[in-house]
Each structure stands twice: as C-alpha cells, then as structure tokens.
Chains A and B, each alone.
Chain A
Amino acid sequence: MNDKAPRNTNNEKKIIRGLGFMSTTADSNSVQVESEGGKIIRIRPLHYDWEYKDLKPWEMHAREKTLTPAMKSLIPPFSLGYKNRVYSPNRIPYPMKRADWNPEGERNPQNRGKSRYLRISWDEAVDIIVNEIRRIKDKYGMEAVLSQSDGHGETKCVHAAHGVSRRLLSLLGGYTLQTRNTDSWEGWYWGAKHVWGCETNGFMDPVTNVVWDVSKHSDAVFFWGCDPETTPWAFDGQFASRICYWFTDLGIKSLYVCPDLNYGAAIHADKWIPILPNTDAALYLSIAYVWITEGLYDTEYVKTHSVGFEKFEEYVLGREDGIPKTPKWASGKTGIKSYTIKALARYWGRHKVSIAIGNGGPGIRGPYSTEPARLQVLMLAMQGLGGLGVHQFRMIEWGIYNDRRKNPLPWPEYIPDIYHVQRGWKYTDTPRQFIPKNMIHDAILRPPITWYGTTLSRDSVDQQFIQYKYPLDDAPEIHMIWTDSPSWITCWNDTNDYIDAYRDEKIEFILAEHPWLENDCQLADLILPSTTIMECDDFGVESVSGQFCTVFPEPRAIDPKGEAKSHFEIACIIAEKFGILEEFSEGKNTEEWIETAYKASGVSGRISWEELKEKGYFVIPNDENWEEREAGLHPFFRDPDNNPLSTPSGKIEFYSERLAKHFPEDRERPPVPKWIPEGESHQESLESRRAKKYPFLVITNHPRWRTHSQHDDMPWLREIHTCKVKGPDGYQYEPVWINPAEAKAKNIGDGDVVRIYNEKGSVLAGAWVTERVRPGIIYIDHGARWDPIVVGELDRGGAINTLTPHKTTSKNASGMSTSGFLVNIEKADMNELRRKYPEVFAVRHDPGAGLRIDRIIEKE
C-alpha cells in the first residue's frame, strides 16, 4: 500500500496533475503534488492504479516477449524536481519597469539589456500598458503591436503559458503575429514533404502500430540523430527508454548515427557511427551508390512506388556532375571510413531496417537540412518503405494534435480534445500580418522582407510556394512587442542580431510577462510576474506519454508566489480596463472554463465531475482492437494506386516536378536532393573558406537537462556535471564537450573556462574533455540562460544561439539553421576578463540556482 490519505484535508493537499512542458494541451508527466501549510512537500509519479485497480494496460507481444506500460508515470527529472523552479531565486516578485524607460519622455532603447528595474504596482503597470496600447493604436494602428506568444512552456489549459493575450489584441483591433517556424522539424517540413507528402509535418505519417511492426519484423533500428534518452523527456516522459531496452531484449540491433555519443547511444548503441555534423547527405548518397552498383535495393518497388529515380541515379553515379558518390568520396566529407560505409550499406541492403528520429540530428536544424531529410526518405524507399519492418518513426510527441495516427504505440479509445477550450495560442489564429519567428530581426532592422510559406506546422505544402511579405502595403511596421515567450535569445538564430533589433529605437515599448527573470525579459521595458503551473487551478489531459491517457482536474497546489498572476488573469485585468472583459472572457471565469474543459474532454459520460474531483484523475480505456490496424504506410506499400501519398504523383518523388516548376533556379533545394556543403545562404562546412579561421563545427542539441530554455535554474540539476561545469570563479558554466585529442592540441583542460567564438560574438563555457564526442567538432546544448558580459557581443551564460547562422534553411526554405556551424574555441583568459569587466564578476549568484532576481533590481 502506498500512503494515500484523503486529498485536501485542512492543511494537506494531494493533487494529481500533468507536469509536461509542451505548452499546448497535450500533457504528460502526470504527478501527484503533495503540499502542506501552503508549501510543496513532494512531487512524485502518479500510480495509475491508485484509484482504478482493474486497469487493463495494452500488451504488445513480439518474439515471445511482452511489452506493457508501467503502472506509474515515467516522469523526467525536471518534473520531479520542479519545486526548484517554483521556488527559484530568479522568480519575478512584482511588476517592474525599466529604470531609464519613461513612456512620457526618454525611452533609451539603447540601454535595453543593461538597465536596472524599479518596482511598480499592478495598477501603475496596467495603466502604462493601456496608455501605450492606445497611443500605439492612434499613432500607427494595432498592427504595430507584435505578439510573441508561442513555443513551449508549462502545459496548461485555462491559464495557458502562451498566447492568451492574442484574443485580447484581436478584440482591440488586431496585431502582427510572430509565427513559429517548425523549429525541430525543419528538414522534414521543408524537405521531406516534397518527397512523400506526409502532411502536415513531413515525417512519416501515419505511424500507426509501427513500434509493434518493428518489434516483430525489423533486424535493426537506426537512430539517426535521435536521442531517445533526452528529447522525449519534457513532452512524453521516459517511456522511450523502456522501448529502447525492449528492442535490445528482442535482439534488434540499435545503431546510432550522430556526431556525439548522445544519451541514448551511451547506453543502448550496439554500434555508434560518429559522423561529422550535417554531412549525412553525403553518407546517404554513398549508401545509394553501393546499393545501385551492387544491386542491393528493391528495384521493383522503386518502379511501382516512385517517380524520378533515373534522375537520382544519374546524380548518384556521377553522370550529372562527373562525381560518382562513392564511399571514398563520402568518407572525406563525413569522417567515416569508406570500408565502414560499405559495410553499413550492405548491412542495410540485406536486413529489415527502420529509422527512429526524434527532433534531433541532421533532419532538423542544420543548414540545408532539407537534403538529409529528403535523402533519408529515399533510402527507406529503396528498401521497400511500408513493408514489414521498414518504417520511419519518432521517439517523441506520440499522438500530437490529438491525432492517434501520430502515435506508433497502441492507442486509447480516444484522446480527450480540450484544445479548443484552452485560452492560449492556437495553430489557426493567424492574423493577416505575420512574421516568421526566425526573421524577427530582419523585419525590425531590414524591412521590407519577403519569404515563402507561413512556416506554421499545421499548414500544408501548398503555401510553401506562396511568397509573403512584411510589412503589408497597408499595414504599419511594428513599434511595440508583447511577449509571453521571452526565450528567443537562447533558442533562435543569430540572436546577437536579434538583441540589436530589440534595442532599435523603432521599438518603443516591450512588455514581457513571465514567471522568471531570464533571457529576453532582460530587454523588456515592463515586466509582469506570472504564475507557475503550481499556482493556478486548471484542467489537464495526459495524452502523449505512450502509456495511459488520463484526464485530471488540476486544483492549485499552492497560492501564487509574490504578486504573480496567470496570463489569463493578466489579460482579464487589461481587458477590463478597456471595457471588454465580457467579450474577452466569453463571460466565463476560471472555474467555468475548467468545467467547459471537463465537458469537452468527453469523460462526462463515464465519470461525474464530483467523482473526478474526488478521485483526482480518470484513465481512458485502451482501444481493445488496436492490433487490427495496418502499420504505418503499409497500405501504400501493398497498393500504391489505391492508397496514394499526398505528393502530386501520389508516389515517392526522387525528382520533384513541383519544386522544379516553382523554383527552377534554386541550387540549394534542387528537385533531386543533393550534397550541398555550402551555397548562397550558408558557408558553414569544414569545406568552407571560413573554416580556416573557425575550424570547429559546433552542434547544439536539444538539452539533456533543460527543455529548450526552461529549467536552467534548477540547483539539483545544475550540480550534475553534464549539466554545469563549475569554473574556478565558482560560476556554473554551460558544458562544452571536446574530444581529448582536440583539447590537448588547444591546451584545454577538463573544467577550464573556454571562449567559443565566431564573427557574431563570443560565449563562455566550461570544458568537458570526453570521448563522447568525435574530433573535429564541439558540442554544447542550446537553451542556457543568457547572462551578458557585453550585451550583443559576449555572453557568460552559454547562450550558444548568439553565434548561430542568420539565414534560413536555404534560400526558399524558410526554416532555421542553428546546429552544425563554424566556430573556434580557446581557453578563456579569466584574469583579463575579470580586469576588464569587474562589475560583471562582482555580481552575487545563488550557489545552486545561479542568477538571482536582485541582480537587476534598482535599490530605492
């Protein structure tokens, strides 16, 4: 028996809720939060059978073994240690105004990032906001307000982390939207869709029952730039780990292709192929060369299921450009021995191989990521994609968009859909003027700008051929920014340039609302404290854990910290000032919206609201007929004419007529995918001239110990040595991995503070000398908090994105490119830095959490 006293006695509360960090309503990481006397005591996994003893988990049988979900949630360490985040010394305690920003006089935009802040009251803050919006509206029109309100965050419904203010801005007359590009899917979205359709995201779709099919039929799974022990954590929890162990138990070979020994490879890999970053296209082409020259591919399938193979073959064999794409040719580019490439090609050609991906690796954030993403699909096609054991599947985001066909694991009977109830941003609420997220700096500093595609994840490929522009002919440029996702600096592209844009005098007012004083908040003129997930009443659905699908009412665990309010409450207060509260809230308060979510969840016929509140959660039964459905693209494999793909030809397109027609001159995303080391948009290859000066490729993965920019302040994580490296000055630096051979050549020792730099600036980091990374590259996670020494030039926190390339994926592909770019690295001269910037080195940090709010508050 576990200790299960009744919930919500006088002083003691036990609350079941989701603690995932997707931010849309697809929650995971269900926990029980136990609090006493207004303080959180503990956070622990939910045991699904606490209230439901007769739960029937699904059972997957393969090779005389059985996989089932665990009877408890498999939460990641950030959910478990979330008290750290709630009680962070960097929480924003009250509304604050930048000390030298005066809405009635001097605004001093050039001091953003340097200024200190003054405490103001909520009344003063709301007055300033209302007056500024009225002034901007009168002077320029409402479209001069940019809404930055997307991305990940705490997964909430009524008090959604992002975009609650959009509805308010719409009611006030409109706004310009920052549209979020498909930042972890770029290659699939801008590339693979042109090969196999698979709307709307570009990775294999549907993936129904693929894990079962792989378990039964595959000889090997190639984890291509995929880290199943990192990226799924925040969104899905740790069931991916159990799947990896399961594959190994079944005798399925796990092969990892990645420049670093990622956390999955570290424990699951039967073989690690440490490829140089962003050279995967060359590897794929040389594998195709071996298959074509040795007859190791499914010629019949290619005939019946694809178009344009002959053009691809011409390129691979060198008939088009005089360069046969031999293993020897690829060896020099990829850093993999040619005999290993041949062995890999032959193994693949003779075995049933599926590919696991998961928001990492070459298909997402490199320059020209369209090419490896497209080529990966073509490789699968040459081996009979959709046949038994030949699939692509994702180790993350199982069943996103509440779509069961996007889940490769057995299904629940249905996924409760409360998406339309949630008060935050939605994929469908795009106003007429918008700017892709990765072009905000260009929009501010270098207008007008044009680009192709909305960049939105749920839009189909058709809009990739439409050119958009900013500003619209009859719309103003932006002059005010309202952000509730102030983490651009540490997550997006060429962010030192973005910092310049934020300091441009054109931007008259920047409003940020956030629980923590981190990243872009440090550039805002007015900062509002918002609540964490523990401090508001809400409603949640666990739908992407891969285990059980559950719903829970989510009463608050504790009262709001300091003067914090939820984004919904903030928007309501401002709406009331404008006299439009009724329209904004649709006449409902928080409690009524929670009940609306309960009704929308579809469980009301199965459990009453009172009983649900009493029990704390409800588990949706499994679909007992899950085994009946065909795996993945098997219908296409079986009968391509009657089950066509969504490409123009209905087949796999080795050559894209559509790309050829729309972009005949595009050498960066040609109709046949190619090896493109550099081009008009990027010179970020070891073959580039810049490599003489900046000889290291740096890869920036999704962080192990953070969710992008979230959780960088958690002391219990920061004392793990792969999370932070304590420098001789006591500061906890972001680790950068460097191979012992490179470290020796550079005279860098383990634990040294180093400077990573290129033309865009410098970032300090703490060296970890390790065999977990191949020579020729360095590795540093993205998302570390920005802690500028010199704003826009030199960062101490490890915000590597300040150095990332500026341009999009390629000329006509509007994704971003932030991993695999050129830098140099050297031991930092700490004495010199201390001498030059004494005020920075004098700042007092929390020994556990690092940045403290008081560093930025002006003492009165």
Chain B
Amino acid sequence: MGKVLIIDISKCNGCHNCQIACKDEHVGNDWSPVAKPQPMTGQFWTKVYDKVRGSVPKVKVSYLHSICRHCDEAPCIKACSNKAIYKRPDGIVIIDPEKCQGSKDCIRECPFDDVIYFNEELNIAQKCTFCAHLIDKGWDETRCSDACPTGAFTFGDEEKLQDLIAKADQLTLKSGEPESSLRPRVYFIGIPKRFIGATIFDPEEDEVIIGADVNIISVSGGNTVSVKTDDFGDFWVDGLLPDKYEVEIKKSGYKTIKMQTDTNEADINLGDIPMQAGNG
C-alpha cells in the first residue's frame, strides 16, 4: 500500500494549475534529499497537453497529462547504473540528487514521454517526487492536487481510493504491453477516445433533419452505436475506438446514406450532409 494519484481527464479544464504549482514548489527551492531545484523553464514534472479534436464546428479540446507513474516495477530503478533511483516504502520513486551522476539511463528506459528531464547545469536527472518532502511534513496531498480547481486530481492512500482506481482506464504501453505490467501509481480516468459527428439537412427544404436514425457500425466487428439526430440535425458520438466505421443515416422519405470513415488517426467531423428525398 502507498500513495497514488488519479487524474480524471473528463474533469480537467486545462487551467494548467498543476503544472504551475509544481514549478512554484520546485523552481528555486532546494528540497534535498528529495529533489534539487528545477530550472526556471523547460522542465515539466507534471505537464498538460491540449489536444484539439475534430474540425469546425464540431471541435472539442481534451487536456492530457504527463507525469511520473511512480511504478512499482519501475524500469528507471533497474536501469540506473549508479543505483541512484529508489522506491520509498510509500511507493514514491525518487531520483536521489546526490547519487545521480548524470547518467541518462533512466530517461532512455522510462516508457513514458516527458517524465524524466535532464538538468544540464546540475548534471542530474529530475522528475516528479509526489512532493515527498511535503508528505513527510504531514501534507495529505501534492501541490498539483492542492491547486486543482475542479477535482480532476485526487491524491491519497491507495487503500482508501480503490473505488476510483477501479474506474481507471486500462492503458497500453508503446511496446504493446499493458501499462499495468509496471504497476503504476498514477491512474487516468476518461482518456478521450474518438468521436464521429455531422449535421444532416434537407437541401430542398433548407431545413435540418431532426430524428434521423444514425448507425455507426464498426467494420472490424465491434459494437454498433445507434443515435438519432437532435434538434439541430446533429449527431456527435464520442467514446468510439480508433477503427474503420460505416455510418448509416436513415429517415423515412429520404434516401438512406451510407458512408465509410476511419477514426484511426483522428476524430471525424463528417460535416454537413445533405439527404435527398426518396425512398430507402
């Protein structure tokens, strides 16, 4: 048992407070033996990325996060040639700034992007410490979770947060292995999948078509999602897997439309789709 951090992407408003709070704590402050100061700019021990999804006018932004997972099976610990990286009893993984001698093994072996940074001036590798220096002083959360205004960040004891952990997304490493194989201590909820959206209209009548049946059929044999167009003639289905889809649009009195689309690379706005009067 030990400390965990759970980040609910669906509650992240992109304010970057987590990223700023981390800098406020670590830039210019020396928390040895947990961490030496972070440089003024360029390192992001917790980082926010904005992912713009779709095209005008069906656009959403999702804010993704990168942070050290404090893995129980941490590749960085094994990789460090100076044995400078260790796991505390509470699960927090620390790069000992005194022992680190400038080896970049950890950066190379960490399977995640933008987690471990190299401080050229101090000649050490640096990363998130789960604010271990504060936890040791009695804090019950990290600076990033303290600063989060929406409740997207939850930090605490693993045993008390099992309900939330159970909701976490099952993620896959770049190697294809499940992320759980590393037994990470950072969990994500609500990582965006893909959407398909469109506006359906009748060009003759110059009206949107409300209540058309839309079937989004996975070509690889996954589930079919069925919705109806809303008061604006829109459908906008989120949570789809990256896949090839057939989109079928039906409305009595109109010719059925079938089209192919592919969400492997990106979310898809099919745009404004005219339906012609007719049968089937």
Using CB atoms and an 8 Å cutoff, list the residues of chain A in contact with chain B. Answer: 1-3, 41-45, 70, 72, 74-77, 80-81, 83, 229, 233, 237-238, 241-242, 245, 261, 263, 266-267, 269, 271-274, 328, 337-340, 342-344, 346-347, 715-717, 719-722, 739, 770-775, 847-848
The contact string, 1 if C-beta is below 8 Å from chain A, for chain B 10-40, is 0111111101110111011100000000001
Q: Can you sample 26 A-B contacts with CB below 8 Å?
A: A42-B143, A44-B24, A70-B151, A75-B17, A75-B147, A237-B149, A238-B150, A241-B149, A242-B150, A263-B13, A263-B14, A266-B14, A337-B272, A339-B233, A340-B233, A343-B207, A343-B232, A716-B23, A716-B27, A716-B41, A717-B16, A771-B59, A773-B56, A775-B56, A847-B40, A848-B41
The complex places the Cα of A41 from the Cα of B139 at a distance, in Å, of 16
Cβ of A2: which chain B residues have Cβ within 8 Å of it?
Answer: 138-140
On whether A340 and B14 interact (CB within 8 A), knowing A75-B149, A80-B21, A272-B59, the answer reads: no
The contact string, 1 if C-beta is below 8 Å from chain A, for chain B 206-219, is 11101000000000
B40 near A771 (CB under 8 angstroms)? no
Please count how many residues in chain B sit with their CB below 8 Å of the partner chain's CB atoms. 54
B24 near A81 (CB under 8 angstroms)? yes
Interface residue B167 (Cβ < 8 Å from any Cβ of A): no
Interface residue B121 (Cβ < 8 Å from any Cβ of A): no
On whether A719 and B42 interact (CB within 8 A), knowing A44-B147, A75-B147, A266-B14, the answer reads: yes
Interface residue B96 (Cβ < 8 Å from any Cβ of A): no
Chain B's closest residue to A80 (CB) is B20
Cβ of A715: which chain B residues have Cβ within 8 Å of it?
Answer: 40-41
The complex places the Cα of A567 from the Cα of B270 at a distance, in Å, of 58
Q: How far is the CB of B150 from chain A (nearest CB, A)?
A: 6
User: What 5 new A-B contacts, CB under 8 Å, besides A42-B24, A716-B19, A771-B52?
Assistant: A77-B16, A720-B48, A771-B59, A774-B56, A848-B41
The complex places the Cα of A83 from the Cα of B12 at a distance, in Å, of 24
Cβ of A43: which chain B residues have Cβ within 8 Å of it?
Answer: 24
Interface residue B50 (Cβ < 8 Å from any Cβ of A): yes
Chain A's closest residue to B25 (CB) is A42
On whether A266 and B59 interact (CB within 8 A), knowing A238-B15, A343-B232, the answer reads: yes
Interface residue B201 (Cβ < 8 Å from any Cβ of A): yes
Q: Which of B143, B146, B231 has the most CB of A within 10 A?
A: B231
The complex places the Cα of A107 from the Cα of B49 at a distance, in Å, of 51
Cβ of B23: which chain A residues have Cβ within 8 Å of it?
Answer: 81, 716
The 10 closest A-B CB pairs, nearest first, are A266-B61, A74-B149, A238-B149, A848-B41, A81-B20, A343-B208, A77-B20, A347-B231, A343-B232, A3-B137
Q: Which of A70, A81, A338 has the most CB of B within 10 A?
A: A81
Interface residue B60 (Cβ < 8 Å from any Cβ of A): yes
Chain A's closest residue to B135 (CB) is A3
B16 near A772 (CB under 8 angstroms)? no
Among B13, B63, B272, the residue within 8 A (CB) of A238 is: B13
Cβ of B134: which chain A residues have Cβ within 8 Å of it?
Answer: 3
Q: Which of A273, A739, A771, A775 has the most CB of B within 10 A?
A: A771
Chain A's closest residue to B234 (CB) is A271
Interface residue B46 (Cβ < 8 Å from any Cβ of A): no
Cβ of A739: which chain B residues have Cβ within 8 Å of it?
Answer: 56
A44 near B60 (CB under 8 angstroms)? no
On whether A77 and B17 interact (CB within 8 A), knowing A1-B138, A238-B150, the answer reads: yes
Interface residue B54 (Cβ < 8 Å from any Cβ of A): yes
Cβ of B129: which chain A residues have Cβ within 8 Å of it?
Answer: none
Q: How far is the CB of B228 from chain A (nearest CB, A)?
A: 14
On whether A716 and B20 interact (CB within 8 A), knowing A343-B231, A722-B50, A775-B56, the answer reads: yes
The contact string, 1 if C-beta is below 8 Å from chain A, for chain B 132-168, is 0010011110010011011100000000000000000
Cβ of B63: which chain A residues have Cβ within 8 Å of it?
Answer: 267
Cβ of B61: which chain A residues have Cβ within 8 Å of it?
Answer: 261, 263, 266-267, 772
The complex places the Cα of A273 from the Cα of B59 at a distance, in Å, of 11
The complex places the Cα of A773 from the Cα of B55 at a distance, in Å, of 9
Interface residue B222 (Cβ < 8 Å from any Cβ of A): no
In chain B, positions 53-81 with a C-beta closer than 8 Å to chain A are 54-61, 63
Cβ of B126: which chain A residues have Cβ within 8 Å of it?
Answer: none
A274 near B201 (CB under 8 angstroms)? no
B42 near A245 (CB under 8 angstroms)? no
Q: How far is the CB of A238 from chain B (nearest CB, A)?
A: 4
Cβ of B233: which chain A residues have Cβ within 8 Å of it?
Answer: 339-340, 343
On whether A720 and B16 interact (CB within 8 A), knowing A1-B140, A339-B208, the answer reads: yes
- Number of A-B residue pairs, CB cutoff 8 Å, is 149
A339 near B56 (CB under 8 angstroms)? no
Cβ of A242: which chain B residues have Cβ within 8 Å of it?
Answer: 149-150
Cβ of B42: which chain A residues have Cβ within 8 Å of it?
Answer: 719
On whether A3 and B232 interact (CB within 8 A), knowing A43-B24, A75-B147, A267-B61, the answer reads: no
Chain B's closest residue to A774 (CB) is B56
Cβ of B206: which chain A residues have Cβ within 8 Å of it?
Answer: 328, 338-339, 342
The complex places the Cα of A242 from the Cα of B41 at a distance, in Å, of 30
Chain A's closest residue to B58 (CB) is A272
Chain A's closest residue to B40 (CB) is A848
Chain A's closest residue to B21 (CB) is A80
A273 near B57 (CB under 8 angstroms)? yes
Cβ of A773: which chain B residues have Cβ within 8 Å of it?
Answer: 56
Cβ of B202: which chain A residues have Cβ within 8 Å of it?
Answer: 339
Cβ of A346: which chain B residues have Cβ within 8 Å of it?
Answer: 231
Q: Which of B19, B48, B58, B234 has the most CB of A within 10 A?
A: B19
Cβ of B13: which chain A residues have Cβ within 8 Å of it?
Answer: 229, 238, 241, 263, 267
The complex places the Cα of A238 from the Cα of B148 at a distance, in Å, of 10
The complex places the Cα of A860 from the Cα of B73 at a distance, in Å, of 61
A772 near B59 (CB under 8 angstroms)? yes
The complex places the Cα of A274 from the Cα of B54 at a distance, in Å, of 14
The complex places the Cα of A716 from the Cα of B199 at a distance, in Å, of 40
Q: How far is the CB of A822 from chain B (nearest CB, A)?
A: 21
The complex places the Cα of A302 from the Cα of B151 at a distance, in Å, of 44
In chain B, positions 83-122 with a C-beta closer than 8 Å to chain A are none
Among B11, B41, B55, B207, the residue within 8 A (CB) of A719 is: B41
Cβ of A344: which chain B residues have Cβ within 8 Å of it?
Answer: 232
Cβ of A74: which chain B residues have Cβ within 8 Å of it?
Answer: 149
Cβ of A774: which chain B residues have Cβ within 8 Å of it?
Answer: 56-57
Cβ of B58: which chain A residues have Cβ within 8 Å of it?
Answer: 272
Among A72, A229, A717, A770, the residue within 8 A (CB) of B14 is: A229
Q: Which of B25, B42, B150 has the most CB of A within 10 A?
A: B150
A80 near B232 (CB under 8 angstroms)? no
The complex places the Cα of A83 from the Cα of B137 at a distance, in Å, of 23
On whether A70 and B201 interact (CB within 8 A), knowing A41-B29, A261-B61, the answer reads: no
A80 near B147 (CB under 8 angstroms)? yes
Cβ of B137: which chain A residues have Cβ within 8 Å of it?
Answer: 3
On whether A76 and B15 interact (CB within 8 A), knowing A44-B147, A70-B149, A774-B56, the answer reads: yes
Q: How far is the CB of B269 from chain A (nearest CB, A)?
A: 9
On whether A45 and B147 interact (CB within 8 A), knowing A266-B61, A340-B199, A347-B232, the answer reads: yes
Q: How far is the CB of B193 from chain A (nearest CB, A)?
A: 16
The complex places the Cα of A245 from the Cα of B8 at a distance, in Å, of 13
Cβ of A775: which chain B residues have Cβ within 8 Å of it?
Answer: 56
The complex places the Cα of A261 from the Cα of B59 at a distance, in Å, of 8
B17 near A80 (CB under 8 angstroms)? yes
Cβ of B15: which chain A residues have Cβ within 8 Å of it?
Answer: 76-77, 229, 233, 238, 241
Chain B's closest residue to A241 (CB) is B13
Cβ of B138: which chain A residues have Cβ within 8 Å of it?
Answer: 1-3
The complex places the Cα of A679 from the Cα of B19 at a distance, in Å, of 48
Chain A's closest residue to B60 (CB) is A266
The complex places the Cα of A774 from the Cα of B29 at a distance, in Å, of 44
Cβ of B11: which chain A residues have Cβ within 8 Å of it?
Answer: 245
The complex places the Cα of A361 from the Cα of B134 at a distance, in Å, of 43
A245 near B147 (CB under 8 angstroms)? no
Cβ of A80: which chain B residues have Cβ within 8 Å of it?
Answer: 17, 20-21, 24, 147
Chain B's closest residue to A773 (CB) is B56
Among A233, A266, A267, A272, the residue within 8 A (CB) of B57 is: A272
The complex places the Cα of A81 from the Cα of B24 at a distance, in Å, of 6
The complex places the Cα of A340 from the Cα of B48 at a distance, in Å, of 35
